[in-house]
Amino acid sequence: MKCRNCQTQLQHVVLDLGHAPPSNAYLSKAQLHAPETTFPLKILVCHACWLVQTEDHTAADELFSNDYAYFSSTSQSWLSHARAYCEKIAEMLHLTRDSFVVEVASNDGYLLKNFVAMGVPCLGIEPTASTADAAERIGVPVLREFFGAVSATRLAAGGQQADLICGNNVYAHVPDINDFTLGLRLLLKPRGTVNLEFPHLKNMIAHNQFDTVYHEHFSYLSLTAVIRIFEKAGLRVFDVEELPTHGGSLRIYGCNRHDPRKTTAAVTAVLAEEQRFGLQDLGFYLAFQQKADKIKNDFLAFLIEQKHAGRPVAAYGAAAKGNTLMNYAGLKRDLISFICDAAASKQNKFMPGSHIPILPPAELEKRKPDWVVILPWNIATEVIQQHGQIKRWGGKFVIAVPELKVLTRRSC
């Protein structure tokens, strides 16, 4: 396999998680009786441009299907994050009724609905019908396709160049990152701004977040790699923010190469931090496998101990990261009896690989498990606040990543 950015032959495996089904391929009861497709789940690092990437085995249209089950609006904390961003960027860029905003991978309209409320013209680009339908129901216009240079050229030719292009947690999901980035440049007005948010590779490795590796994530991004990808497309990163979302993310601010805005000191600082931390050192990457194995083994040991003691364990959050953890650990219903999730699109389905049933959150009260494993550890505080009633019967919350830990309100 060659690097998706610079075409260098890839030689260095960062993490090998065996075989797993696509992490958002939730199953109906009827599908449990059919063969289940799995793919190797492995990430490699390019020693030339330092892009970390999943080994090629799946295509985007197989992963992001019309019945895609991830709806961004399920998380209240994420809705708050999106609303705060819209208010901030609208003031910063002086967005008005004469402006035009495009969000790539607009999902269910969780973000653009804020611009609709402000009266700022906008367009979502979203290939999955399930989420696009939800967005249109709340008044968000949607173009239903995958984004790239072709669609950007067509929109620009039709007079729809953007003052702002935003994309939250999409940049890691695109198989052809160069074509996607070229599309950003083609769609952008000469003085327009690109905002992309993505989990920071530094935090993924530093905090043992191996469960964020799954087939839908084609790339794992550092600022070092993103700057090089932007430069190839004729764009420049002129500012960056470090955010707490998803275990530690970056929000980059991009512009056309010759835009007069100066590059901020924040860009220099993050680049220097990445170099100090080892993101241009192969040894830093090659130690990741051992950390992932320890998390998996500690989690399995905990579940087996509870099984022997007769203490039932459930989980909360049928998240993609949870599927990575459970499939790597080889978990089945004997160790985790059920998983609760607030998303109606996932309820009464089954987790891919493990086949653990997904039920409404009310099942916690009915079944009263001794332990609830929060699989989306990045929203653990929100989950505890919403479901703190489990302490009435002596129930406790626990996470496995970045390390096995029993949670309380204070520990979050």
Question: Around Cβ 47, how many Cβ atoms within 10 Å?
Answer: 15
Strand partners, 103: 124, 166
Co-location of 146 and 164 in the same domain: yes
Residue 40 domain boundaries: 12-57
Instruction: Summarize pLDDT for 347-399 with one digit per residue, the tens.
Output: 999 999 999 999 999 999 999 999 999 999 999 999 999 999 999 999 999 99
How far apart are the C-alpha atoms of 144 and 154, rounded to whole Å?
Answer: 14
Tokens for 104?
Answer: 């790539």
- The answer to whether residue 341 sits within a structural domain is yes
Residue 48 and residue 6 in contact, taking contact as beta carbons nearer than 8 Å: yes
What's the whole-number mean pLDDT along residues 246-252?
A: 94
Q: Which of 28-37, 74-83, 128-137, 402-411 has the lowest mean pLDDT?
A: 402-411
Q: Give the model's pLDDT for residue 412.
A: 47
| Cα Rg, the chain, nearest whole Å | 21
Co-location of 323 and 257 in the same domain: no
Co-location of 242 and 127 in the same domain: yes
Co-location of 119 and 210 in the same domain: yes
Instruction: Summarize pLDDT for 282-337 with one digit per residue, the tens.
Output: 988 988 999 999 999 999 999 999 999 999 999 999 999 999 999 999 999 999 99
Q: Give the model's pLDDT for residue 24.
A: 83
Q: Which amino acid, residue 106?
A: S
How far apart are the C-alpha atoms of 349 and 321, rounded to whole Å?
Answer: 17
- The answer to whether residue 326 sits within a structural domain is yes
- The answer to whether residue 379 sits within a structural domain is yes
**Distance from the Cα of residue 47 to its chain's centroid:** 24
> Domain end: 255, 285, 315, which one?
285
64, pLDDT greater than 60: no
- The answer to whether residue 294 sits within a structural domain is no
Co-location of 385 and 268 in the same domain: no
Tokens for 42?
Answer: 């492995």
Confidence of residue 141 (pLDDT cuts 50, 70, 90): very high
Co-location of 96 and 136 in the same domain: yes
How far apart are the C-alpha atoms of 253 and 215, rounded to whole Å?
Answer: 27
- The answer to whether residue 189 sits within a structural domain is yes
Instruction: Summarize pLDDT for 209-240 with one digit per residue, the tens.
Output: 999 999 989 999 999 999 999 999 999 999 99
> Domain end: 260, 285, 310, which one?
285
Q: Give the model's pLDDT for residue 198.
A: 97
- The answer to whether residue 124 sits within a structural domain is yes
Confidence of residue 102 (pLDDT cuts 50, 70, 90): very high
- Among 154, 66, 46, 50, residue whose Cα is nearest residue 102: 154
The enclosing domain of 108 has a CATH number of 3.40.50.150
Contacts of residue 400, defined as CB under 8 A and 6 or more positions apart, other chains included, come to 295, 298, 299, 302, 325, 373, 377
Q: How far is the CA of 6 from the CAs of 84, 232, 297, in angstroms?
A: 36, 10, 36
56, pLDDT greater than 90: no
- The answer to whether residue 7 sits within a structural domain is no
The enclosing domain of 317 has a CATH number of 3.40.50.720
Residue bearing tokens 């729809």: 160
How far apart are the C-alpha atoms of 260 and 10, rounded to whole Å?
Answer: 37
Co-location of 155 and 278 in the same domain: yes
- Among 187, 244, 248, 165, residue whose Cα is nearest residue 212: 248
**SS3 assignment for the chain:** CECCCCCCECCEEEEEEEEECCCCCCECCHHHHCCCCCEEEEEEECCCCCCEEECCCCCHHHHCCCCCCCCHHHCHHHHHHHHHHHHHHHHHCCCCCCCCEEEECCCCCCCHHHHHHHCCCEEEECCCHHHHHHHHHCCCCEECCCCCHHHHHHHHHCCCCEEEEEEECCHHHCCCHHHHHHHHHHHEEEEEEEEEEEEEHHHHHHCCCHHHCCCCCCEEECHHHHHHHHHHHCEEEEEEEEECHHHCEEEEEEEECCCCCCCCHHHHHHHHHHHHHCCCCHHHHHCHHHHHHHHHHHHHHHHHHHHHHCCCEEEECCCHHHHHHHHHHCCCCCCCCCEECCCCCCCCCECCCCCCEEECCHHHHHHCCCEEEECCHHHHHHHHHHCHHHHHHCCEEEECCCCCEEECCCCC
What's the whole-number mean pLDDT along residues 273-288?
A: 93
Number of domains forming the structure of the chain: 3
Co-location of 46 and 126 in the same domain: no
Q: Give the model's pLDDT for residue 360.
A: 97
Q: Which of 86-100, 143-157, 203-217, 249-263 has the lowest mean pLDDT?
A: 203-217
Instruction: Summarize pLDDT for 67-92 with one digit per residue, the tens.
Output: 545 677 778 888 999 999 999 999 99
Co-location of 270 and 382 in the same domain: no
Q: Give the model's pLDDT for residue 409.
A: 58
Instruction: Summarize pLDDT for 186-217 with one digit per residue, the tens.
Output: 999 999 999 999 999 999 999 999 999 999 89
- The answer to whether residue 93 sits within a structural domain is yes
How far apart are the C-alpha atoms of 372 and 380, rounded to whole Å?
Answer: 11
Co-location of 17 and 121 in the same domain: no
Average per-residue pLDDT for the chain: 94
Model pTM above 0.75: yes
Residue bearing tokens 């109906």: 28
Co-location of 256 and 310 in the same domain: no
Residue 249 and residue 212 in contact, taking contact as beta carbons nearer than 8 Å: no
Residue bearing tokens 């992932």: 292
Percentage above 90 pLDDT, the chain: 88
What's the whole-number mean pLDDT along residues 137-155?
A: 97
